[in-house]
A and B are shown apart, each in its own frame.
Chain A
């Protein structure tokens, strides 16, 4: 690919000669159901962070519909980027680079952001930077917590990225200005957020169920139902390597346990009635949902929340100890969960570990984290070529 190689060389030259670099990076994110754009200066100062959420569209279907997501991204991408640039008080010509999520995510959805970013970067004559969505989530916290976390060299950070699509543990370390990652744990089935969404659906709470479950959990008895999580048996893979490592997660069991509980306690009809009532509600559904939940349901939710948060905390702390992490960062949509924040913080304090969470706006999918993660790559001249394509199963570390 001679063309792209030339391009990369030219870009590096341009940057090195650029004494008055603005440090402004436009981030674009379209990996799932949020069309997002943001302008971040030098990887830390968020000048704008715009997210066009498609939740209302997908809620009707009880989950993200890939074709609908892709269509909405195409419709939203121009106004979202325009708004991000305008809110940052800059023009496109001020940008030093365009960064975009290359994966993991939905192929069709990713492609809209990637293709748009490629064309925009080409037209502006700026470099294009490809960012792993999971690395973005880690930088969502790093960009805010750099000051508070004292990051000593040689002491790794343990990052728990936990959302509707991911549950991963990474060891992250900065070397020569660039961040390196090692994946030390992952879910072998559902993501934690997925377990929340699926359980919420079983209880007639609609999609997405996580935030609503979190709210309702504080109104129930967390010790009412005992859920057991974990206990993954390492399975020998065909190649002899064992699947299911020590710090892996499994959430399919608790989802089944919730299903069994609702069946045993004849909760299905109540859930259906609750679902129908909630579908009529526009805007904030919290108080209505609370009124629609009986004691048994609230206790089940509180117990579920306790079990999931406890499991995430336990695995994370075990990994932190094993790998000698000095600090823990928690990111992704589930990082907004109150029980997880409280229990993780308390446990970290006991163990004298530093801990950081993203602010609410940076916990769920956003583009500021993409622009922030792109900054070290920009400084190192790590640019993507014209041929950048979506990598739906992209891994980190």
Chain B
């Protein structure tokens, strides 16, 4: 257990969670579905109050910055940015695909449901939005793929799929501590959402033009 003090925010999914890690251990508060916007801040306050230290005492704030629900992703990133600007604590943006991949050490790829028959596909080298056909052409048949959703597991029966629970904030701690030790902290201005999917309007405009 690291004695570094880290706050991790994840509001990419339907619900969300906030975790605080310190020498005393890891505490996590889970947010009810669709309540990240209204209850996220309250959870951060509760965790810090309980631990007895302030925002400025943190070594870093990590945020899962996507991919996932566009609004959910923005809530987490906006919260992390505000906390960082107010306290001067550096940020660590974490890809939800990287966090998912780290949950299964053998996995070369992580896949998340992107809706509309599409998927978010992540490896150590690339993260992208793909169709099933594109995924079949990119992922070799013998490698391990980690997933956390039924729909995705069902679609990928051609692969060696390992199904894990949906990642929560504390699942990002390993990667966050690694980034912190390596000094990979960034300022609030440098963090943006990792959407992977472009806005529909942009695609439609391109199609028309």
Contact = CB atoms under 8 A, between A and B. Distances in A.
B68 interface: no
Interface stretch (B96-104, B144-152, B200-208): B200-208
B114 to A, nearest CB: 15
* Interface range on chain B (Cβ under 8 Å from partner): 20 to 34
B150 to A, nearest CB: 27
Given A65-B201, A389-B38, A115 B78 contact: yes
A124 B86 contact: yes
Contact of B200 (A67, A70, A122): A67
B71 A78 contact: no
B35 to A, nearest CB: 9
A346 to B, nearest CB: 42
Contacts of B202: 68
A111 B85 contact: no
Given A68-B199, A118-B79, A111 B37 contact: yes
A117 B82 contact: yes
A123 B189 contact: no
B22 to A, nearest CB: 18
B78 A111 contact: yes
A116 interface: yes
Interface of B: 37-42, 44-46, 55, 70-71, 74-75, 77-83, 85-87, 188-189, 192-193, 195, 199-202, 205
A240 to B, nearest CB: 35
Contact of B82 (A108, A115, A390): A115
Nearest to B55: A123
Interface residues on A, range: 35 or more
A95 to B, nearest CB: 10
B70 A70 contact: yes
B75 A115 contact: yes
A111 B71 contact: yes
Tell me if B's interface is mostly helix, strand, loop or mixed: helix
A128 to B, nearest CB: 9
Contacts of B188: 78
15 contacts: A60-B205, A61-B201, A68-B199, A70-B71, A74-B77, A111-B71, A114-B37, A115-B37, A115-B41, A119-B79, A386-B39, A386-B42, A387-B39, A387-B41, A388-B38
A112 B70 CA distance: 11
A3 interface: yes
A124 B78 CA distance: 15
Contacts of B200: 67
Nearest to B193: A74
Nearest to B49: A3
A242 interface: no
B14 to A, nearest CB: 16
Contacts of A112: 74, 78
Contacts of A107: 71
Contact of B86 (A65, A70, A123): A123
A71 B78 contact: no
Contacts of B82: 115-120, 122-123
A123 B85 contact: yes
A92 interface: yes
A75 B192 contact: yes
A388 B78 CA distance: 14
Given A108-B74, A111-B71, A78 B83 contact: no
Contacts of A389: 37-38
Contacts of A387: 38-39, 41-42
Residue of A71, A111, A112, A123 ringed by the most chain B CB atoms within 10 A: A123
A386 B39 CA distance: 7
A81 interface: yes
A79 interface: yes
Contacts of A118: 41, 79, 82
A140 interface: no
Contacts of A81: 85
B199 A92 contact: no
B151 to A, nearest CB: 23
Nearest to A113: B78
A122 B45 contact: yes
B38 to A, nearest CB: 4
A153 to B, nearest CB: 38
A390 to B, nearest CB: 7
Given A68-B201, A78-B81, 20 more contacts: A1-B42, A7-B45, A70-B71, A74-B193, A75-B192, A78-B85, A82-B189, A92-B85, A111-B37, A111-B74, A112-B74, A114-B37, A115-B41, A115-B79, A116-B78, A119-B78, A119-B81, A120-B82, A386-B45, A390-B37
